Homo-oligomer: A and B are copies of this chain.
Amino acid sequence: MFESFELGHRISDRAYAAAEPKLRQELLQAQYELLEKKHFPVIILIGGVDGAGKGETVNILNRWMDPRHIVTHAFGEMSDEERERPRMWRYWRALPPKGRIGILFGAWHTDPIVDRVMGRTGDAELELALNEIVSFERMMADEGALILKFWFHLSKRVQKERLRALEADPKTRWRVTDTDWKRFKLYDSFRAVSETALQETSTGYAPWTVVEGTDPNYRYLAVGRALLDALRNRLAGGAQAASRPAALPEPALDGRTVLSGVDYSHQLAHKPYNRALEKYQGQLNLLSRKKAFRSRSLIIVFEGVDAAGKGSTIRRVSGALDARHYQIIPIAAPTEEERAQPYLWRFWRHLPRTGRVTIFDRSWYGRVLVERVERFCSHQDWMRAYHEINEFEEQLTEAGGVVVKFWLTVTKDEQLRRFRERQKSPFKNFKLTPVDWRNRKKWNDYQRAVCEMIERTSTARAPWFVIPSNDKNYARIEVLKTLCERVAAAL
């Protein structure tokens, strides 16, 4: 495919001078409209051959538009804070909020290509990485991002000439490094791998635009025009590739679900409870201090029926750990900064470094639970969330995270009993709000949402554990025991 971009495209200085002022003004206007509406973020990826004018083009874009509302990020070496988290964490933290333009240099597509060219990975791993990119960009597009990807291409001959010319000029010599020449030797391989990568990750919602990098005039106008068209189209309400999820299957005809078989009769008396508590808290504590844990992390998700005892169970877990090594993240309504970002952003920002534990008190599952049932998000938003969540958790486990998810459940009668108890107790009645009563009325809707959630997101890597919690002692020990087992198995 690159042959079409070795034609020697060229635009004369005169034609450029004639076209540039108008393009510039229109881009600026579009940028201000974007900024004012704040409907979506713009993500511009920049990749391609060295010496093809990537940096210069980005500088031109910054000059044409208002640079105060553009965020440019170049991804070089990872910082140690980045290395200790899933691969995509550094990109998540660089995403532009709604209304702004983010220009990302050498972002998520770079490593898979370079690793393959260097022979550090094989075809299968490349394929896998590209699939992940497709999913990720799909999610961004579904979240409303306008994604533009520019690939700057040069033929082998032109690249060599260009690197030489840059080196010869004292003003530009700094831009050519040894790495550039080393990479040049791998041109053919780089070209072949890039071609595969571009083809596989060029999608309707995030297409690659290949730009011939030989002539600056051509390069700048090509990128500027493409950006302007995309911005205008989108600002005018141009169709965003709408995802149409299939309808969910109806609940099983025989009424059997993952929840219907739960045995609520388990009980644990005070004495054996105390013994077990000491045992498993001790075990968990030791596990969290093992040397092997220093390169892993633990992510615990607590979800559950209202009044199922999430808070008190979490305290039994955190009580086993050193406060210096865990964080508990209670998930409530998103903040303003979080609302300006894709849904999962607010969870990414809290991911633990290695050797640490993060406990989520409610989590990203809100989307397929409360947001689904209360219709806070659209049908298609929560439908695609199953897939997005599975991929998210896969990234967590791939980075060495141990992900354990608990659904604490009580019977409807037991919930009522606990609500009434809370009403009566002066210390507990702050825990009972009108929302709890409203949710209770939607018991069946919630149950259905929970069943589907578990069916679709309980994976071998990040399984759900349904914990019958009518008896609190029993539930707490089950949770602790499960945690010990999962962590021990992982180390």
Interface residue? A9 (CB, 8 A): no
Find out whether the CB atom of B72 lies under 8 angstroms from the CB atom of A324: yes
* Minimal beta-carbon separation of A66 from chain B (angstroms): 7
Interface residue? A242 (CB, 8 A): no
Q: Which residues of B contact A72 (CB under 8 A)?
A: 323-324, 326-327
A336 is contacted by which of B68, B103, B337 (Cβ under 8 Å)? B337
A311 is contacted by which of B58, B59, B68 (Cβ under 8 Å)? B68
Interface residue? A2 (CB, 8 A): no
* Given A29-B427, A81-B79, A335-B337: A314 in contact with B74 (beta carbons within 8 A): no
* Minimal beta-carbon separation of A86 from chain B (angstroms): 17
Find out whether the CB atom of A103 lies under 8 angstroms from the CB atom of B335: no
A68 is contacted by which of B79, B103, B314, B323 (Cβ under 8 Å)? B314
A62 is contacted by which of B29, B55, B81, B318 (Cβ under 8 Å)? B318
Interface residue? A158 (CB, 8 A): no
Q: Which residues of B contact A325 (CB under 8 A)?
A: 74
Within 8 A of B (CB), among A24-71: 25, 29, 32, 55, 58-59, 61-63, 66-71
A58 is contacted by which of B74, B323, B337, B427 (Cβ under 8 Å)? B323
A79 is contacted by which of B63, B73, B79, B314 (Cβ under 8 Å)? B79
Q: Which residues of B contact A69 (CB under 8 A)?
A: 330
* Given A55-B322, A72-B323: A289 in contact with B174 (beta carbons within 8 A): yes
Residue with the greatest number of chain B CB neighbours at <10 A, chosen from A103, A329, A336: A336
Q: Which residues of B contact A62 (CB under 8 A)?
A: 318-319, 323
Interface range for A: 35 or more
Q: Which residues of B contact A330 (CB under 8 A)?
A: 68-69
Nearest-neighbor residue (CB-CB) of A54 within chain B: B324
Q: Which residues of B contact A373 (CB under 8 A)?
A: none
Nearest-neighbor residue (CB-CB) of A71 within chain B: B327
Within 8 A of B (CB), among A276-318: 282, 289, 311, 314-315, 318
* Given A289-B174, A322-B55, A427-B25: A328 in contact with B79 (beta carbons within 8 A): no
Interface residue? A361 (CB, 8 A): yes
Interface residue? A80 (CB, 8 A): yes
Report how far A151 CA is from B59 CA in the complex, Å: 53
Interface residue? A218 (CB, 8 A): no
Find out whether the CB atom of B59 lies under 8 angstroms from the CB atom of A322: yes
Q: Which residues of B contact A324 (CB under 8 A)?
A: 55, 58, 72-74, 105
Sample 17 A-B pairs with CB under 8 A, ordered by A number.
A55-B324, A62-B323, A63-B318, A66-B315, A67-B323, A68-B328, A70-B323, A71-B327, A72-B323, A79-B79, A79-B80, A79-B81, A81-B81, A174-B289, A335-B336, A335-B337, A336-B336
Give the interface of A toward B (CB within 8 A).
Answer: 25, 29, 32, 55, 58-59, 61-63, 66-74, 79-81, 103, 105, 171, 174, 282, 289, 311, 314-315, 318-319, 322-330, 335-337, 361, 427, 430
The 8 closest A-B pairs by CB, nearest first: A74-B324, A72-B323, A68-B330, A336-B336, A68-B328, A62-B323, A58-B323, A67-B318
